[in-house]
Structure 1
Amino acid sequence: MRHSAGRAGLLFVAGIASSLGFAPWNLWPLTLIGIAWLIRETATTQTVRQAAKAGWVFGFGHFLLGTHWIAQAFQYQQDMPAWTGWIGVVLLSAYLAIFPAMTTAATRRLTGLPLILSFAGCWTIAEALRGILFSGFPWNPLGAVALPMAGLGQGAAFVGGLGLSALIVLAAGGLYLLVERQWRAGAAILGLTVAAALAGLIPLRTATPLTPARLNIVQADIGQDEKWSEDGVERAAAKYLQLSPKPTRAARLLIWPEAAIPDLLDEMPAMRRRLGAHLGPNDLMLLGALKAIREDDGTAIAARNSLFVLDSEGGILARYDKKRLVPFGEFLPARTLLNAIGLDRLAPGALDFWPGPGPRTLPLPSGFPAVGPLICYEVIFDGRVTEAGYRPAWLLNVSNDAWFAGAGAEMHLAQARLRSIEEGLPMARSTPTGISAVIDANGRVTASMPRGQAGTIDARLPQANAPTLFSHAGRILPLLLAGLLVLFGWGLGRTR
């Protein structure tokens, strides 16, 4: 019993260590060591139950650190004490740990190279399922660890973040094989990983090409408590306008974050005219605000989390409605039942949000390139960020990272970088408290403003790359890679 508890404790620590490879820590060698330890434990288990338990304990530690930032969101919920946020983190981590448990249970009977290959494939498939089931939560794919590993992150242009997850597991498996003195197989896997990382340095050697489009991204450092205060709308508008540069002869895009105006902007003509007065004749403003869905008699029945495009007269040129909504954040499942026991969604308001139609490309006037909007955590869903058949020239991620602890904001930025590499598109990110940034089509941050600082990013929009292989094929490629790894691993294991 004592020996079993000790092994579980080491697996839990290994899971936490593996999560230290994500931003902001970027200690990727610990990720490789942690995954290698999990593979070793999988190889020594005797039953499916033991293997699943090993994967679950590891996954619980892995996701506990990776999602700890969620606890901060409960500080703004009036009906529940802040400590309930940690209960939410524990329950979420316990659920997410099921996916590593699926991987270890499926590969238990294999050893050596067959185990490594099948483990990488099963981990990738489980990660893909994690992004789909129960509306999906693909936060921190293991592939995000590849971003600081020389040029390995550039592989996302071919196999996406999911494919990079398979490569990370393979590299960890290579370490395991070396420890097991299977020199040839271990050296071959690690050699291929190093070669891929070095090849990825080639596109990073060139300077970032820029377009003529000028961006003014405003970060007002407005927290949740200030944003939803009684006079929050007026205070937000005044602060954003104060920080927004005055117009010049050169046309520019003035960008404010998600719900910068926490009210129904389309029903506020005076506010729109006030905002438009801050624009030059060819300027455009892109900002987040809310929209009500009303019955024929005017009764509001729901709301939308929207991005508005305004001209200098305050006219609405376009609107994008967020598709992927956050459970308990933007809508409350089984509202009647949960309200009865005192639970409510984290964002204030009695109305739930309704989802929009999905990815859209918005054409912009005045010669500005068409944009693909993404609101908040929509940016963490790979392969579903652009409108089919209508590729934008850039991506815009407006978010409200004021909900997050600092590490969460860093992780969010890293996943946005993955999307830029996958699609070969630059991205502008606007958040109220940081981290706002401009990202080029190779995932490099060309301009940014740190968390907790107010100001404006004045930058030119980077140029898009040619459409990537991943942008054409989407998730088919990494899932095909994962399937081949599983089949080859199981086939090799049966032969042996």
Structure 2
Amino acid sequence: MRPLSATRALPLAFLLGCASAFGFEPFAIWPLTFCCLAALLALLIRARRFGQAFGLGWWFGLGQFTVGLNWIATAFTFQAAMPAWLGWIAVLLLSLYLAIYPALGLALAWALGKIVKRPEALAVFAAALWIVTEWLRATAFTGFAWNPLGVVWLEVPGATALAPLFGTYVLSGLAVLTGGLIWLAVTRTGLRALLMAGAPLLLAIVAAAIHAVSFDGAGREGIAIRVIQPNINQNEKWEEGAEARNYDRLVRLTGKPGRAPRLILWPEVAVPWYLDENPLARETIASLLGPRDLLLTGAIHFNYDKAGNPVTATNSLFGLTPEARLIGRYDKSHLVPYGEYLPMRPILSAIGLSRLAPGDMDFQPGPGPRGILMPGIGLVGVQICYEIIFSGHVIDAAHRPRFLFNPSNDAWFGRWGPPQHLAQARLRAAEEGMPVIRSTPTGISAVVDGHGRLLASLPWHQAGAIDSRLPPVLAPTPFARFGNVLAAAGALLLLIWGFASGRRRR
């Protein structure tokens, strides 16, 4: 095998990473991602040094993240404190950092592969260490879990059955392993190599099929729900004098109450009023509700010091009754760095940087997954916007809710961000066996069942309302019970199998 030429291999790895990003939404060309991973492993086995292997993974990650996260640049066009071109610098800098994780995983896989010296072992090691490093990416420095590789399985027929059994990070490892099988098949490594590398994937598919057949997911549909998407763009949301116009859109889409009870779902920070401080605002909204209706809406909550001065704010969700009574509040826990708070504020603000959301006051994080108890419905789990992307951190396992509400504001996510966000919400639904309802100002609002299937949705930038029934909650899945312990177990088993696959027959 000829030595690897860095001048050719590293640019090729970058192009493969760029191409692999089209396996995510909004294109979802998942076979392309698997083929790009196959080509990457073909380059990896030819690396001669740890640094070369690290470079291949880093350039691949740089390409994938730069293309897949291009929507972040759009956020900078909705505020005047910083120039819009800085958005592309932010995408590049974030991608430079995120690329470290696949680079580390593939370099360690290469090092283990040099010990075993079997191509099938390299594929298995790469899958195992991708699980580990992707989990690290979602955890280190508050984490950034956007676009895990496992999300590409959503469009593969029948593959969502893997999610409740193994979770996102194992699915990501299985995606790498699938790329390894393509590589081994194309290079005609031999039947034994294919069987050794393919055995973990085959066992996962069989286990998921058995679980899908035996899993008792019976349940009845619940109350009527109405999901509101007012199509209020980010530049309209905080426009001076636009409050009445924006509220009128919510009023018209909410519709007239009927005899049957409804649960009405408005987006993240749907109203500019501070509901727990403003009885008139509560009464105004409550006048839209029938006598048996309930409303969930996003709004801002302030915390005050002893002198009565606001010191922190929370991005919150409130429940409201027809009597204008608040019946619970959830405070967003996993905040967006630079969006909802400015890290190292004294230093960064001194050089002219600010957070992207309007206002100078940083948001304060809430206590974590909590529910709001809604009369006649039960416990409603809440994950506001960005929080839904963190696998294993969206449900309070001790108080399993009836469904998960994901109010969001994707209006500044460009064209690529909203479908990627929805895909990750679908993956959470499949993992947890939990219906997920999304309401966003500009889309994509959706109703997702506990299998991750999209039951109804509203297109991007289209005003409307979804009338549906609340899908049934399923029994707790294996992932709901054990969480990312399954990711650790999956990575360990793959590492053991990688070493076992290096043993030759006597």
Q: Please, what TM-score do these two structures have when normalized by structure 1?
A: 0.95
Instruction: Quote the Cα distance in structure 2 between the aligned partners of 1:277 and 1:412.
Output: 33
Aligned partners of 2:223 and 2:262 also within 8 Å:
yes
* Structure 1 partner of 2:267: 257
Cα separation, 1, equivalents of 2:4 and 2:154: 39
Choose the corresponding residue for 2:491, options 482, 491, 496: 482
Partner residue of 1:399?
408
Segments of 5+ residues of structure 2 without an aligned counterpart are: none
**What secondary structure sits across from 1:383 in the alignment?**
coil
Q: In the alignment, what sits opposite 1:228?
A: 238
Give the corresponding residue for 1:169.
176
Letter in 1 for 2:356: L
Give the equivalent residue in structure 2 for 1:186.
Answer: 194
Q: 1:190 to 1:18 in 2, by over 3 A?
A: farther
Q: CA deviation at 1:430?
A: 0.4
Could you tell me whether the CA contact under 8 Å between 2:231 and 2:461 is conserved in 1?
Answer: yes
Counterpart mapping for 1:269-284 below 5 A:
269-284=279-294
Per-residue deviation at 1:370? 1.7
1:424 aligned residue: 433
For 1:99 and 1:186, locate their aligned partners in 2 and report how far apart those are by CA, in whole Å: 27
Selected match of 2:454 from 408, 427, 445: 445
1:96 & 1:495 partners in 2: Cα distance? 37
Matched letter for residue 419 of structure 1 = R
Q: CA shift at 1:189, angstroms?
A: 4.8
The one-letter code sitting in structure 2 at the alignment partner of 1:117 is V
Aligned mates of 2:413, 2:297 — CA distance in 1: 20
Q: Match for residue 213 of structure 1?
A: 223
**1:369 positional shift:** 3.0
Contact 1:208-1:440 within 8 A present in 2 as well: no
Q: CA RMSD in A?
A: 2.3
Structure 2: how far apart are the matches of 1:26 and 1:483? 30
**Deviation for aligned residue 1:191:** 7.8
Give the CA deviation at 1:350: 1.3
Structure 1 counterpart SS, 2:470: strand
Distance in 2 (alpha carbons) for counterparts of 1:234 and 1:343? 31
Cα deviation, residue 103, structure 1: 1.2
Give the Å deviation of 1:233: 3.3
Work out the CA distance in 2 between the residues paired with 1:424 and 1:220.
29
Partner Cα distance (1:249, 1:194) in 2:
52
Q: Does 1:85 align with 2:90?
A: no
Aligned to 1:303: 313
| Counterpart-to-counterpart distance in 1, 2:147 and 2:12 | 22
Matched to 2:105, the amino acid is T
Task: Give the one of 377, 382, 385 matched to 1:373.
Answer: 382
Amino acid at match of 1:438: V
Quickly say closer, same or farther: Cα 1:6–1:263, change in 2 above 3 A: farther
1:403 is aligned with what amino acid? W
1:135 aligns with 2:150: no
Gaps of 5+ in 1: none
Query: In the alignment, which residue of structure 2 is the partner of 1:122?
Result: 129
Q: Secondary structure at the match of 1:261?
A: coil
For 1:371 and 1:126, the matched residues in 2 are separated by 32
Shift in Å, 1:182: 2.1
- Deviation per residue, 1:345-383 (Å, 9 max, x gap): 000001100000000122111x11321001001100011
Match of 2:42 among 40, 43, 64: 40
Worse-superposed segment, 266-275 or 409-418: 266-275
Cα distance between partner residues in 1 of 2:385 and 2:293: 24
Q: Distance in 2 between matches of 1:24 and 1:76?
A: 22
**Structure 2 CA distance for aligned equivalents of residues 189 and 282 of structure 1:** 57
How many Å apart are 1:37 and its aligned residue?
A: 1.4
Q: Aligned residue for 2:474? A: 465
Q: 2:61 is matched by which residue type in structure 1? A: G
Does the aligned pair in 1 maintain the 2:20–2:64 contact within 8 Å? yes
Which runs of structure 2 are paired with 1:94-105 in the superposition (5 Å)? 94-105=96-107
- Secondary structure class of the residue paired with 1:55: helix
SS in 2 for 1:262: coil
Q: What's the CA shift for 1:176?
A: 1.2
The 5-angstrom pairing of residues 63-82 of structure 1 reads: 63-82=65-84
- 1:341 Cα deviation after fit: 1.2
Three-state SS of the structure 1 residue aligned to 2:110 is coil
1:209 is displaced (CA, Å) by 6.3
From 242, 245, 256, the counterpart of 2:255: 245
Between the two proteins, the alignment pairs up a number of residues equal to 495
Amino acid at match of 1:39: L
Q: Which residue of 2 aligns with 1:266?
A: 276
Structure 1 CA distance for aligned equivalents of residues 349 and 237 of structure 2:
24
The counterpart of 2:330, out of the listed 306, 320, 327, is: 320
1:10 is aligned with what amino acid?
L
Structure 2 CA distance for partners of 1:264 and 1:3, relative to 1, 3 Å:
same
